[in-house]
Amino acid sequence: MAKEKFISEESGCIPLNIENVDTDQIIPARFLKATTRDGFGENLFRDWRYDRKNEPVKEFVLNRPEVKGKILVTGKNFGSGSSREHAAWAIYDYGFRVVVSSFFADIFKNNALNNGLLPVQVSQDFLEKLFVLLEDDKTTRVKVDLEEQTISVPSTGMNQHFGISSYKKECMLNGYDDIDYLLNIKDEVLDFEKRRSLW
């Protein structure tokens, strides 16, 4: 099944300068009862976004009208904890297309890539400078170019190369899907079942 392509993105950023953001913060377990993939954005960062009376927490960055963008910039070790793909769905559903951090948890990274959400891993130094820029000017725009594998701040010229496997890059650029790939080589899987030898 074809997915949305990702080629490049230039937009404002939402800075979330917190480390070790775990998937329970991204989407709390009590919102995992849905049986479809839609609508999780509504509860993204639920317990930081709303207080116990369900009133929006004014200071929380997603509730500040002057901060807009499709790029989420977060502290190191983003997405640790549970394997819930709902975390990637919630971020995507909210409208983000890129997450920038200096370090991602493994399962989250896979889940993001499987859903057209690009995880961009930058150096700690680059991340800290980016947070400072976003602190000074909420409207700072960032450009992420997947073809070139670069992230840059056009207004200052700050830029960095980021890594991604060439397979995943192809998938993102073309909207290819892993399951289609696997279904097309089903004969190889069946052959493996016949020829497999134990360790």
Partner 1 sequence: MKSKTLFDRIWDSHVVSTIENGPEILYIDRHLIHEVTSPQAFHGLKSRKTGVLRPERTVATPDHNVPTADQHLPISDELSRYQVAKLEKNCKEHNITMYGLNHPFHGIVHVIGPELGLTQPGMTIVCGDSHTSTHGAFGSVAFGIGTSEVEMVLATQCVMQPKPKTMRITVDGEIGAGVTAKDIILYIISQLTTSGGTGYFVEYAGSAIRNLSMEARMTICNMSIEMGARGGLIAPDEITFEYIMGREYAPKGEDFKNAVEKWKKLRTDDDAEFDKEYTFKAENIEPMITFGTNPGMGMSIDSEVPALEMIEPENRDSFLKSQKYMGIEPGTSLLGKKIDYVFVGSCTNGRIEDLRMFTAFVKGKVKSADVTVWIVPGSKQVENQAREEGLIDILTESGFQFRQPGCSACLAMNDDKVPEGKYSVSTSNRNFEGRQGPGARTMLVSPVTAAAAAITGKISDPRDFLAK
Asked if 14 contacts 61 with a C-beta cutoff of 8 angstroms, the reply is yes
Beta carbon nearer to partner 1, 83 or 155: 83
Beta carbon nearer to partner 1, 143 or 169: 169
Beta carbon nearer to partner 1, 152 or 172: 172
The 10 Å Cβ neighbour count of residue 3 is 16
Smallest distance from partner 1 to CB 154, Å:
28
Smallest distance from partner 1 to CB 126, Å:
15
Strand partners, 16: 74
Binding site for partner 1 (CB under 8 A): 1, 17-20, 22, 24-25, 28-30, 32-37, 47, 52, 75-77, 80-86, 88, 103, 105-107, 110-111, 114-115, 165-168, 178-179, 181-183, 185-186, 188-189, 192-193, 196-199
Beta carbon nearer to partner 1, 65 or 193: 193
State the burial class of residue 98 (Cβ atoms within 10 Å of its Cβ: 0-12, 13-18, 19+).
Answer: buried
Amino acid at 23: T
Which three-class secondary structure state does DSSP give residue 85?
coil
Smallest distance from partner 1 to CB 141, Å:
26
Closest to 110 measured CA to CA, from 72, 79, 148, 152? 79
Beta carbon nearer to partner 1, 37 or 141: 37
Smallest distance from partner 1 to CB 155, Å:
26
Cα(26)–Cα(96) distance, integer angstroms: 13
Smallest distance from partner 1 to CB 10, Å:
27
Closest to 99 measured CA to CA, from 148, 4, 26? 26
Smallest distance from partner 1 to CB 174, Å:
14
Beta carbon nearer to partner 1, 127 or 152: 127
- Contacts of 103 by beta carbon, 8 Å cutoff, 6+ apart: 76, 77, 78, 121
